[in-house]
């Protein structure tokens, strides 16, 4: 079946919603409730409802953290609400020993700025980043011990450090810890660090220009306090109670100001240091919590939860081919083989080569993201139609008409596995082996005739979070793309965006208004997005080549993205069998004129990066990408991108870019940073697909550390290492 018209139907909001509810489609998952059993531990954990989230996000009691960790892969969306604060947080258990949290705190008593013409009536939003690492895992006699940092790269309104231990005794989970900073404003003990150096007794109340930086100089400084609590799991599994002793006396809070009045100060009152609350687990995916805090304040909230390791696609109608060889005395029907490879193994537009010793297929794989599954299906189809005398199958995956991966299948070993004819006591023979892409042997027995013209339609989301003008800015658009292949190496393609809805008319950031040291390379986004409901975002001519084994190159020119036109080239070296790859691209670009998108403006720049890709060997599913080079504003620096792929195929990652631009010139946030989640669409759809959607978060739109948004990078074309 020729797939010349590919409608890429999907919605990013649907992706998130389906990811949160997708466990209903998952296979049976052991240890759903995070019950950890050990025959060596008489105090077996009794947390039938599992660990729960604190008010700040991350596993904890109410205001205070615990040493507990959720299961690896757990993802939580949290909301908490009281009189002074609304807290929105995302917590991700990247590994069983590492928890990360991103949080926005809406300070309801403070305006975003005194300039209401700029920020309107919006209340102040504070963004925070938290990490917690387990130092010691609970055993029969020793507790869980964890170390954490709260609000480590913001304005420091809630910055804290802590060391905490938790120990389970039947249905009770006891927590005891020591904190510094905001969570220790009560100062109920003297800071132990003062014994080493007197400067540890003081903590700076200011932060570096622009905010968003790591205030390492404040770590373990200032007030210290002990905190603790008890969590009781009731016999009724969905319900548990929490009692905590709060180390914060709220004497120095961000909400200590009457809304709209910077000249009148009030203090949050604490009538009691004890907070009490309960958590009710409505379902495996939803918790709600209610608590009475400070002796005078009601706090309510909820958490939505899923686990990225547990999600599994369900495709009931996608039945794999059955091993059932047919009589091939009359020769092989290669047309039927190609048809089955497309329909049952996802290998489309196959070119097939054969001789007496081997059969080679060269095809595109657009259905199964698990290449082992695709190759197993393809080998089964070949074994059903190809004579037993053929000793090897070679399955070559092609991308953009370039061969990028090859797998050799030993037919004798494959048939032994399929017929279960391996002698008892002997291990199953290895039938599939990755091999370098090499010259194709054999005569051509079938040549495909793929359509030269392809097109697709998909939704697109442009967004920024935490701006002064509006907390959330967005554009939802419908993006159409089309490509025409001129030859195996040359193609021309383009993309257009149809605006459906956006609120970028509120974006009025000027940076800096009277300083030309930093050109505006991204903060013109309002002008681009609102200039027309229909935008030509890409139109380029591209040549792709595979000049030698493990080497890939491309050159391209045209309208490269919504804001820039120009020319560029890229080279990628991806050595076979290695965990790393190296790429280099260089572009000369000019800014497009938002008043007439077919013309260019005066600004031009040479930009490019040297990028190293590395699959980290000691941390399962972990991947690092490090880019060094020149960015669109002419600044030089480095971008570090770290990600983790979970068993479901969902990938969560964080990135940060630091350049030679000063924090003052960069503006609020100090440097570019954010996180993203790639979600495979086959977790939602009833049919398998290699397509995936991305949900990203970048706190602010600024001009420093901005890369060109190229359409087809070689690393994506050649295929990921992992």
pLDDT value at residue 463: 75
Q: Are 346 and 369 in contact (CB under 8 A)?
A: no
Of the candidates 398, 414, 446, which is a domain's last residue? 446
| CA–CA gap between residue 63 and residue 294 (Å, rounded) | 10
SS in 3 state form for 10-46? Answer: CCHHHHHHHHHHHHHHCCCCCCCCCCCCCCCCCCCCC
Give the residue with greater pLDDT, 395 vs 515: 395
Q: What pLDDT shows up at residue 271?
A: 95
pLDDT, tens digit (0-9, with 9 covering 90-100), for 57-73: 999 999 999 999 999 99
Q: With b meaning 16 or more CB within 10 Å and e meaning fewer, what string describes 491-517?
A: bebbbbbebeebebeebebebeeeeee
Distance CA 701, CA 708 (A): 14
Least confident of 8-17, 104-113, 136-145, 378-387: 8-17
Whether 6 maps to a domain, the answer reads: no
Name every residue whose Cβ is closer than 8 Å to that of residue 653 and which is 6 or more positions away in sequence: 623, 641, 642, 643, 644, 675, 676, 677, 678
Nearest to 701 by CA among 454, 506, 482: 506
Higher pLDDT, 380 or 206: 380
- The answer on 512 and 605 residing in a single domain is yes
The more confident residue out of 154 and 24 is: 154
Separation between Cα atoms, residue 347 and residue 351, nearest integer Å:
10
Q: Where are the beta strands (DSSP E) in 438-489?
A: 443-446, 453-465, 472-485
Residue 206 is predicted with a pLDDT of 61
- What is the domain count for the chain? 3
Count of all residues that appear for the chain in the document: 722
Query: What are 259-301's pLDDT values in tens digits?
Result: 444 445 567 899 999 999 999 999 999 999 999 999 999 999 9
Cα separation of 357 and 636, whole Å?
Answer: 54
Q: Range of 592's domain?
A: 453-718
**Predicted confidence (pLDDT) at residue 543 exceeds the cutoff of 90:** yes
The helix/strand/coil state of 666 is helix
Average pLDDT estimate for 470-475? 80
Query: In terms of DSSP bridges, do strands 85-95 and 74-81 run parallel, antiparallel, or are they unpaired?
Result: antiparallel
Classify residue 2: in a domain, yes or no. Answer: no
Residue 212 lies in a domain: yes
Q: How far apart are CA 511 and CA 585, in angstroms?
A: 28
What is residue 119's predicted lDDT score, i.e. its pLDDT? Answer: 67
Q: With contact defined as beta carbons under 8 Å apart, do 267 and 255 qualify?
A: no
Say whether both 647 and 662 belong to one domain. yes
**Whether the Cβ atoms of residue 393 and residue 412 lie closer than 8 Å to each other:** no
Specify burial of residue 489 (Cβ count, 10 A radius: 0-12, 13-18, 19+). middle
Number of H helices, E strands in the chain: 8, 31
Tell me: do 347 and 490 sit in the same domain: no
Q: Specify whether 135 is located in the same domain as 170.
A: yes
Beta bridge partners of 555: 543, 569
Per-residue pLDDT band at 449 (split at 50, 70, 90):
confident
Q: Which residue has better confidence, 467 or 523? A: 523
- Classify residue 114 as exposed, middle or buried by CB count within 10 Å of its CB (0-12, 13-18, 19+): exposed
CATH of the domain at 155: 2.40.160.40
The answer to whether residue 356 sits within a structural domain is yes
Residue 57 backbone class (left: φ over 0; alpha: ψ -120 to 50; beta: rest): left
The C-alpha atoms of residue 713 and residue 284 are separated, in whole angstroms, by: 39
Residue 168's DSSP bridge partners are: 173
Report the Cα 72 to chain-centroid distance in Å. 15
Q: Which residue is associated with the tokens 């004798």?
A: 412
Residues 6+ apart with CB under 8 A from 115: none
User: Does residue 464 share a domain with residue 431?
Assistant: no
Cα 487 to Cα 401: distance, rounded to the nearest angstrom: 9
Over residues 673-681, mean pLDDT? 91
pLDDT over threshold 60, residue 20: no
> Is a pLDDT exceeding 70 seen at residue 570?
yes
Check whether residue 282 and residue 299 sit in a common domain: yes
Residues facing 399 on adjacent strands? 402
What distance in Å separates the CA atoms of residue 519 and residue 665, rounded to the nearest whole number?
A: 10
**Is the CB of residue 530 less than 8 Å from the CB of residue 504?**
yes
Average the pLDDT over each of 86-100, 193-207, 484-498, 591-605 and give the range with the smallest value: 193-207
Question: Residue 513 pLDDT more than 80?
Answer: no
* Percent residues over pLDDT 90 in the chain: 63
Distance between CA 253 and CA 157 in Å, rounded?
Answer: 8
User: CA nearest 303: which of 80, 33, 459?
Assistant: 80
pLDDT tier at 509, thresholds 50, 70, 90: low
CB of 67 closer than 8 Å to CB of 164 = yes
pLDDT in tens, 339-396: 999 999 999 999 999 999 999 999 999 899 999 999 999 999 999 999 989 999 999 9
How far apart are the two ends of the chain, measured CA to CA in Å? 29
| Residues 442 and 562 grouped into a single domain | no
Sign of CA dihedral 461, 466, 470, 471: positive
pLDDT band at 526 (very low <50, low <70, confident <90, very high): confident
Residues 465 and 433 in one domain: no
Q: Tokens at residue 29, please?
A: 């998952």
Give 197 or 494, the one with higher predicted confidence. 494
Q: Is 314 among the domain residues?
A: no
Alpha-helix residue ranges (DSSP H) falling in 302-391: 334-345, 371-385
- Of the given ranges (86-95, 116-125, 131-140, 313-322), which has the lowest mean pLDDT? 116-125
The strand pairing partners of 462, in sequence order, are 475
Q: What pLDDT does residue 22 have?
A: 38
| Domain end position, chosen among 446, 478, 500 | 446
User: For residues 624 and 641, what is the distance between their CA atoms, to the nearest angstrom?
Assistant: 6
Residue 677: what pLDDT?
93
pLDDT band at 471 (very low <50, low <70, confident <90, very high): confident
pLDDT for the residue numbered 462: 77
Residue 260: per-residue pLDDT: 45
pLDDT for 213 equals 62
The structure's pTM equals 0.84
Do 110 and 139 lie in one domain? The reply is: yes
Beta bridge partners of 496: 480, 536
pLDDT, tens digit (0-9, with 9 covering 90-100), for 387-428 = 989 999 999 999 998 999 999 999 999 999 999 887 777 788
> In 3-state terms, what secondary structure has residue 201?
helix
User: Which tokens belong to 114?
Assistant: 């005194």
Task: Tell whether 480 and 571 lie within a shared domain.
Answer: yes
**621 in the same domain as 489:** yes
The rounded distance, in Å, linking the Cα atoms of 722 and 720 is 5
- Maximum C-alpha span of the chain: 94
Residue 10 belongs to some domain of the structure: no
Contact 145, 163 (CB under 8 A): yes
- CB distance 282 to 238 below 8 Å: yes
Q: How confident is the model at residue 1 (pLDDT cuts 50, 70, 90)?
A: very low
Are residues 251 and 138 both part of a single domain? Answer: yes
Mean pLDDT of 244-261: 78
Q: Which residue has better confidence, 672 or 177?
A: 177
Share of the chain above pLDDT 70, in %: 86
- The answer to whether residue 20 sits within a structural domain is no
Higher pLDDT, 286 or 25: 286
- Which of 405, 426, 446 is where one domain is finished? 446
Handedness of CA 502, 506, 512, 516 (dihedral sign): positive
What CA–CA distance (Å, rounded) separates 347 from 363? 5
Mean per-residue pLDDT, 251-258: 75
Residue 722, pLDDT > 80, answer no
pLDDT, position 42? 34
Query: What letter does residue 233 receive in the DSSP assignment?
Result: E
Q: Distance between CA 301 and CA 283 in Å, rounded?
A: 15
Helix (H) or strand (E) holding 527: helix 525-531
327 part of a folded domain = no
Q: Kindly provide the residue ranges of all beta strands, DSSP E only, lying in 308-357, ordered along the sequence.
A: 347-354
Question: Is there a contact between 419 and 435 (Cβ–Cβ < 8 Å)?
Answer: no
């Amino acid at each position: 079946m020729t797939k010349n018209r590919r409608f890429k139907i999907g919605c990013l909001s649907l992706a998130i919603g389906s990811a949160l509810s997708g466990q209903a489609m998952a296979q049976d998952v052991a240890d759903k409730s995070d019950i950890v059993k050990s025959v060596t531990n008489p105090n077996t954990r009794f947390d039938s409802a599992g660990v729960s989230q604190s008010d700040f996000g991350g596993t904890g009691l109410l205001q205070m953290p615990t040493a507990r960790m959720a299961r690896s892969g757990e993802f939580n969306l949290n909301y908490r609400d009281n009189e002074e604060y609304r807290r929105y947080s995302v917590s991700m258990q990247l590994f069983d020993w590492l928890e990360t949290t991103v949080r926005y705190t809406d300070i309801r008593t403070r305006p975003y700025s005194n300039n209401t013409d700029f920020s309107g009536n919006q209340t102040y939003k504070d963004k925070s980043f938290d990490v917690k690492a387990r130092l010691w895992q609970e055993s029969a006699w020793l507790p869980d011990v964890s170390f954490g940092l709260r609000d480590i790269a913001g304005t420091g309104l809630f910055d804290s450090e802590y060391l905490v231990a938790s120990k389970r005794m039947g249905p009770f989970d006891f927590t005891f810890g020591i904190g510094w900073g905001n969570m220790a404003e009560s100062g109920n003990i003297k800071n132990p660090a003062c014994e080493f150096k007197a400067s540890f007794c003081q903590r700076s109340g200011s932060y570096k220009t622009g905010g968003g930086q790591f205030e390492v100089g404040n770590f373990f400084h200032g007030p210290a306090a002990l905190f603790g609590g008890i969590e009781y799991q009731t016999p009724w599994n969905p319900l548990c109670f929490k009692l905590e002793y709060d180390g914060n006396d709220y004497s120095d809070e961000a909400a200590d100001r009457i809304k709209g009045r910077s000249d009148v100060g009030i203090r949050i009152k604490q009538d009691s240091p004890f907070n009490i609350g309960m958590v009710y687990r409505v379902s495996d995916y939803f918790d709600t919590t209610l608590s009475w805090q400070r002796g005078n304040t009601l706090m309510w909230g909820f958490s939505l939860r899923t686990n990225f390791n547990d999600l599994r696609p369900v495709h009931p109608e996608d039945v794999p081919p059955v091993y059932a060889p047919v009589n091939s005395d009359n020769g092989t029907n290669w047309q039927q083989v190609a048809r089955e490879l497309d329909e049952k193994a996802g290998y489309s537009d196959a070119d097939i080569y054969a001789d007496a010793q081997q059969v080679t297929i060269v095809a595109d794989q657009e259905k199964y993201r698990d290449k082992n599954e695709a190759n197993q299906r393809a080998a089964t189809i070949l074994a059903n139609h190809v004579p037993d005398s053929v000793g090897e199958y070679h399955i070559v995956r092609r991308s953009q008409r370039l061969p990028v991966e090859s797998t050799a299948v030993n037919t004798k070993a494959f048939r032994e596995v399929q017929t279960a004819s391996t002698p008892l006591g002997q291990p199953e023979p290895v039938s599939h082996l990755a091999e370098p892409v090499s010259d194709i042997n054999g005569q051509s027995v079938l040549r495909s005739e793929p359509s030269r013209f392809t097109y697709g339609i998909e939704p697109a989301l442009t967004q920024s979070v935490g701006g002064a003008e509006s907390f959330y800015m967005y554009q939802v658009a419908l993006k159409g793309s089309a490509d025409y292949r001129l030859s195996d190496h040359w193609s021309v393609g383009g993309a257009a965006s149809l605006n459906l809805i956006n609120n970028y008319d509120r974006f009025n950031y000027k940076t800096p208004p009277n300083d030309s040291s930093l050109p505006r390379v991204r903060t013109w986004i309002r002008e681009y997005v609102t200039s027309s409901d229909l935008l030509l975002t890409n139109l380029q001519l591209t040549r792709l080549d595979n000049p030698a084994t493990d080497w890939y190159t491309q050159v391209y020119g045209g309208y490269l993205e919504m804001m820039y036109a120009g020319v560029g080239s890229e080279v990628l070296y991806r050595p076979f069998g290695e965990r790393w790859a190296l790429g280099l691209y260089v572009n000369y670009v000019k800014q497009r004129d938002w008043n007439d998108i077919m013309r260019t403006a005066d600004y031009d720049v040479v930009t490019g990066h040297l990028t190293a890709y590395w699959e980290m060997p000691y941390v399962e599913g972990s991947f690092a990408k490090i880019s060094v080079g020149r960015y669109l504003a002419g600044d030089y620096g480095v971008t570090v991108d770290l990600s983790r792929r979970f068993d479901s195929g969902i990938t969560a990652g964080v990135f940060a870019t630091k350049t030679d631009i000063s924090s003052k010139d960069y503006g609020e946030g100090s440097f570019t940073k954010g996180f993203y989640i790639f979600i495979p669409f086959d977790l939602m759809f009833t049919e398998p697909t290699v397509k995936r959607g991305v949900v990203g978060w970048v706190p602010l739109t600024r001009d420093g550390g901005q890369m060109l948004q190229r359409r087809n990078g070689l690393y994506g074309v050649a295929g990921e290492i992992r």
